[in-house]
Amino acid sequence: MNVLARIENVVYESLLCRDLPIVSLKEFENGKAFVNSSFVIDIKEGKIAVSHWVSAKRTRSYPFARVYDTMNYKTRVTIIPLVKDEGKDGDRDYLQWDTVSLMSLLGVHVIIAYYKKAKKSEEYKNKITDQEFDYKYLKEKLQELLKYKSGALHWNLKQLSEINKISKKCENAYYKQISKKCGVELHGIDSFKERIRQITEDVEKFKEFSRELAKSAQHRESLTTQPKERVVNEKGTITITNYLGGAYYFTVDELVIDKKKLFLIEKKHSRDSIPSLADVQDGLIKMILYSNLAQATVDGIEYQIKPVLGLTADHFTGLCGSLTELQACGKQLSKSDFEMLSTLFKEAEKNGFKVFIMDSSKKTLQDKFLDKIS
């Protein structure tokens, strides 16, 4: 099942953001700030919330959770490497247009970065670890951003137009410095140059090229059940367009149609108690989008949109689908889990989506919940 959806504005109030550490510009420049996944730089121009990705791939190390933690700040920046090459014995990931366009939709400024330092892995012959950004370059880009007057979309498009310059810095760092210093063979430079050529040739071609990759990944994911998911109904895909001309391709864990209602269900699973805060925040990025959809159709038929975040756990008994019901479930939760879920239910109520947590072995509980909120 494929959903075609349209989004106009993004209005959302985040309640589950972690308290971010405040760092100085000096700590940003020397890299000490990056021991934190997200942080706030307090300078005379104001506070800037910064998150950084450990890879260009959005399925590694909860990058959406990192971005979510910055959503309550007016100026939001996320740093994403153009390429991350772990060496011939590891992976190599590239930035995709759809990642940048999603950040534009969320009002997040992207700084496209590159790694300058790394250490040789102790376990693999041709693999590097502990990669570090060029912090001096990041400071220059941050100072440039502070003088920039347009919004996130225009800034991000400008960064894409400068990818060729960044790729030269990246190529030099990986193949002339890191590889030689660590004595590690990286993935082929010819394929690196070819991929960069495809990216830099034209931003429009980059969009189409990345979208094809995103659609392929979307299709693969729609056929796969991840360890952290418990799927009751069938997976589907959703294509979201907006007035900026962007197209966003996602896999929906479960799509359920009930009369004129379309349930878009994002699922997070835990084998122990309840899913972690990072898992929940990752799911909330989807809720930010789904709760702001203005229209959704399937096979040309328009449906009322019902976004749902479903949490399942092996060691949870019964089903809890509201703040009131949470009180009754409280005895089987730790204090911290209870507080997190209380805040989550409040966030859901403020932003127009539903949340439930249930015993992963009792699949019929979800159907009863959906019947209740229909």
| Both structure tokens of 186 | 């990286």
205 with 229, same domain: the answer is no
115 with 19, same domain: the answer is yes
pLDDT band of 96, cuts 50, 70, 90: confident
Q: Is the residue at 187 inside a domain?
A: yes
Q: Helix 189-200 and helix 203-222: axis angle, to 10°? A: 110
pLDDT for 210? 60
- Of 226-230, 240-244, 308-312, minimum mean pLDDT range: 226-230
Q: Residue range 298-311: average pLDDT? A: 96
Q: Is the pLDDT of residue 231 over 60?
A: no
Task: Report long-range pairs for 203-206 (Cβ below 8 Å, ≥24 apart).
Answer: 203/157, 203/160, 203/161, 206/97, 206/160, 206/163
pLDDT digits (tens, 9 = 90+) for 291-302: 999 999 999 999
What is the C-alpha separation between 252 and 237, in angstroms, rounded?
Answer: 6
pLDDT for 130? 96
Q: 3-class DSSP state for residue 292?
A: coil
What is the C-alpha separation between 23 and 33, in angstroms, rounded?
Answer: 6
177 with 40, same domain: the answer is yes
pLDDT band of 209, cuts 50, 70, 90: low
Last residue of a domain, one of 197, 215, 233: 215
| Both structure tokens of 195 | 């991929």
98 with 146, same domain: the answer is yes
Q: How many CA atoms lie within 13 Å of 89's alpha carbon, on the beta-carbon side?
A: 13
251 with 365, same domain: the answer is yes
- Which string of b and e fits 106-122 if b means at least 16 CB within 10 Å? bebbbbbbbbbbbebbe
Burial (0-12, 13-18, 19+ Cβ within 10 Å), 72: middle
Last residue of a domain, one of 215, 243, 276: 215
304-313, strands of its sheet edge to edge:
254-258, 261-270, 304-313, 354-359, 319-320
Q: Is the residue at 87 inside a domain?
A: yes
Q: Is the residue at 1 inside a domain?
A: no
120 with 76, same domain: the answer is yes
Contact 147, 210 (CB under 8 A): no
The structure's pTM equals 0.90
Q: Residue range 147-168: average pLDDT? A: 90
pLDDT for 232? 55
Last residue of a domain, one of 189, 215, 241: 215
Q: Is the pLDDT of residue 154 over 80?
A: yes
pLDDT for 1? 84
Backbone phi, psi, residue 112, to 5°: -80, 120
Q: Is the residue at 2 inside a domain?
A: no
167 with 272, same domain: the answer is no
Q: Is the residue at 62 inside a domain?
A: yes
343 with 267, same domain: the answer is yes
Q: 3-class DSSP state for residue 195?
A: helix
Q: Is the residue at 4 inside a domain?
A: no
Contact 367, 321 (CB under 8 A): no
Sign of CA dihedral 158, 161, 163, 164: negative
- Of 154-158, 295-299, 346-350, minimum mean pLDDT range: 154-158
Q: Is the pLDDT of residue 341 over 70?
A: yes
48 with 119, same domain: the answer is yes
The rounded percent of the chain whose pLDDT value lies above 70 is: 93
Q: Is the residue at 3 inside a domain?
A: no
186 with 299, same domain: the answer is no
What is the C-alpha separation between 296 and 290, in angstroms, rounded?
Answer: 10
Q: To the nearest 10°, the Cα dihedral for 28, 30, 35, 41?
A: -10
Which one has a higher pLDDT value, 80 or 240?
A: 80
Name which of 75, 82, 54, 74 is nearest 66 in CA terms. 54
66 with 119, same domain: the answer is yes
Q: 3-class DSSP state for residue 20?
A: coil
84 with 231, same domain: the answer is no
Q: What residue numbers bound the domain in which 173 lies? A: 10-215
Q: How many domains does the chain have?
A: 2
Per-chain mean pLDDT for the chain: 90
Q: Is the pLDDT of residue 106 over 70?
A: yes
pLDDT digits (tens, 9 = 90+) for 168-200: 999 999 999 999 999 999 999 999 999 888 877
Q: Is the residue at 119 inside a domain?
A: yes
Measured CA distances, 115 to 177, 184, 195 (Å): 11, 15, 17
Q: Residue range 213-242: average pLDDT? A: 73
pLDDT digits (tens, 9 = 90+) for 16-65: 999 999 999 999 999 999 999 999 999 888 899 999 999 998 877 899 99
pLDDT for 271? 87
Which one has a higher pLDDT value, 211 or 292?
A: 292
Cβ-based neighbours of 373, under 8 Å, separated by 6 or more: 306, 308, 321, 354
